[in-house]
Every structure is written in structure tokens, then in C-alpha cells.
Amino acid sequence: MVTIEQINNFLATKKLAMAGVSRDSKKFGNMVFKSLIEKGFEVCPINPLANEIDDVKCYSSVKEIPVGFDRLLIVTPENKTMQVVQDAFEKGIKLIWIQQKSENKEILQFAREKGFDVIYKKCIYMFAEPVSGGHKFHRTIAKIFGSYPKSEKKFSGQGSMKN
């Protein structure tokens, strides 16, 4: 289960590598990239087919990213994600966020076996502040219907409780 602490920890430094950044401004990978930069994140883009995206140096694989990027957002097609996760393991990155629809059971099992702190089945748009528009509405709905990540913190008192 993904917790709100995991998400907050992932987003805390505002510095991350991102696999699956597209050169096409109409593709999800490009929209997320631009949005994160607008929100003040330092994003290291990864795309094996580009040297630069929106005037930012692009890297062909996770293995090539500079030191200092210890968080990885993955927005690749599902059939490319396993290789990205394997590369992250070899690079020593342990905090990964696999965007919805980029994961499958095999990928998640591999990530757990290798000791990753992995966020999955969550959309980064709902958590990277400031959240606005439809994503703010989706976040509210998720909270109402119980699909919003819970806290791992326990409160003392009569027994243990989770948020």
C-alpha cells in the first residue's frame, strides 16, 4: 500500500529524474515534464531518442543521469518500464514513482524484491503542489471515497489508529 508519507518524501526535494519524457507536447510525458518544471521542480529528462527537450539536456537512460538525482518518475509505456526499473536498480536509485498504467504485477514484484520504495497506481498530478483544476477535484473525490493514500503514522490512545 502506498502511503502519504512515501509520496511526500518523494516530492520533498523537488529534484527528480523522469523516464518517458516525450518530445511531443501533446503526449502525457511532455505535459508532466512541463508541469513539474512550472511547479518549481528540477527535472532530469530521460528519452533515448532525444538529446534535448524544451532546452533541457536529455539523457538516453537512467544509467546516464548525473549524480544527485535519487528519485525517479517513470511515465514510460508498460513494455518499457521493466528495463527502466532495472536500470534504476543498477544506478542505485531506490525511490521510484511508476505512473498509473506504466506498471504491471511483474514490475511491482521485481521492484519490491529489489528493495525499492515504490509509488504506483497514483497520478503525480494529484500530489505535486500546487494541485489545480481537475486534479484537485479528483484528489477531493479520492479522499471522499477512500482511495487517497493513508498515513502510516499511528496515534496513541485506546489502541492504534491509522489516518
User: 116-134: per-residue pLDDT in tens?
Assistant: 999 999 999 999 998 877 8
Please report, for the domain that includes residue 96, its CATH number: 3.40.50.720
Q: Total domain count for the chain?
A: 1
User: pTM (2 decimals)?
Assistant: 0.89
What does the alpha-carbon distance between residue 93 and residue 85 come to, in Å, rounded to a whole number? 9
Give residue 129's domain range.
4-155
Assigned domain for 22 exists:
yes
| 3-state class (DSSP) for residue 72 | strand
Q: Would you say 52 and 39 are in contact if contact means Cβ atoms under 8 Å apart? A: no
User: 78-91: per-residue pLDDT in tens?
Assistant: 999 999 999 999 99
Question: What angle do the packed helices 105-113 and 78-91 form, to 10 degrees?
Answer: 10
